[in-house]
Structure 1
Amino acid sequence: MTSSLGKLPSLNALKAFEVSARHLNFRLAAEELGVTQGAVAQHVRGLEAELRVKLFERMPRTLALTGEGRSYIADIRRAFEIIARATVELKPQAVRLTISTTPTFASRWLIPRLPDFTARHPGYDLHILATERMSSFQADGVDLAVRYGKPPFGTGLATELLFEQEIIAVGSPALLTKRKPLRSAEELAEHTLLHDAHNFWPEFIERLGRPTDATFKGISFSQTSHAIEAAIAGQGIALTNREFVERDLDEGRLVRVLDGSLPAPANFYLVWQRYRKSPAIAALVAWLIAEVGTTASKD
Structure 2
Amino acid sequence: MHALAAFEAAARLGGFAPAAEELCVTPSAVSHRIRQLEQQLAMQLFERTPTGVRLTTAGRLYLARVREAFVSLAHSRPDAHGPRVRLRISVPPTFARQLLMPRLPAFMRQHDGLDLEVHVANPVAVATDEPADVSIRWSTGNDLGGVVHRLFDERIGPLAAPDLVAELGLTSAAEVAAAPLLRTPLLPWTPWFQAAGLNLPEPERGAVFNDLGLVLEAAGAGLGVAMGSRRLAAAWLDSGRLVPITDILADSPHSYFVTCAHEAAARPEVAGFIDWLRAGFAE
Secondary structure (helix, strand or coil) at the match of 1:163 reads coil
Match of 2:246 among 246, 253, 258: 258
**1:171 pairs with 2:160:** yes
* Per-residue deviation, 1:135: 3.4
Change (3 A) 1:183 1:101: same
Change (3 A) 1:118 1:181: farther
Match of 2:231 among 231, 243, 247: 243
Counterparts of 1:42-61 in structure 2, within 5 Å, are none
Distance in 1 separating the partners of 2:68 and 2:126: 48
Counterparts of 1:120-199 in structure 2, within 5 Å, are 120-132=110-122, 133-135=125-127, 140-147=130-137, 148-151=139-142, 153-154=144-145, 157-177=146-166, 182-186=171-175, 188-189=177-178, 191-198=179-186
Q: Percent sequence identity over matched residues?
A: 27
Contact 1:181 1:256 survives alignment (8 Å): no
Secondary structure (helix, strand or coil) at the match of 1:96 reads strand
Contact 2:156 2:192 survives alignment (8 Å): no
Contact 1:182 1:188 survives alignment (8 Å): no
**1:291 pairs with 2:280:** yes
Distance in 1 separating the partners of 2:215 and 2:170: 20
Distance in 2 separating the partners of 1:105 and 1:257: 23
* Per-residue deviation, 1:80: 5.2
* Per-residue deviation, 1:217: 6.5
Secondary structure (helix, strand or coil) at the match of 2:147 reads strand
* Per-residue deviation, 1:82: 5.1
Secondary structure (helix, strand or coil) at the match of 2:278 reads helix
Amino acid in the other structure paired with 1:208: A
Counterparts of 1:205-216 in structure 2, within 5 Å, are 205-209=193-197
* Per-residue deviation, 1:98: 1.0
TM-score, structure 1 length as denominator? 0.59
* Per-residue deviation, 1:111: 3.0
TM-score, structure 2 length as denominator? 0.62
Contact 1:151 1:159 survives alignment (8 Å): no
Secondary structure (helix, strand or coil) at the match of 1:244 reads coil
Query: Partner residue of 1:42?
Result: none
Match of 1:101 among 88, 91, 95: 91
Query: Partner residue of 1:119?
Result: 109
- Which whole-Å deviations, capped at 9, do the CAs of 1:105-126 have from their partners, x for residues lacking one? 3333323432332333333222
Distance in 1 separating the partners of 2:68 and 2:140: 57
Change (3 A) 1:283 1:211: closer
Task: In structure 2, list runs of 5 or more residues that go unmatched.
Answer: 1-66
**How many residues are treated as equivalent by the alignment?**
212
Distance in 2 separating the partners of 1:79 and 1:220: 54
Distance in 1 separating the partners of 2:223 and 2:249: 21
Query: Partner residue of 2:43?
Result: none
Distance in 2 separating the partners of 1:187 and 1:124: 47
Distance in 1 separating the partners of 2:239 and 2:97: 17
RMSD over aligned CA atoms reads 3.4
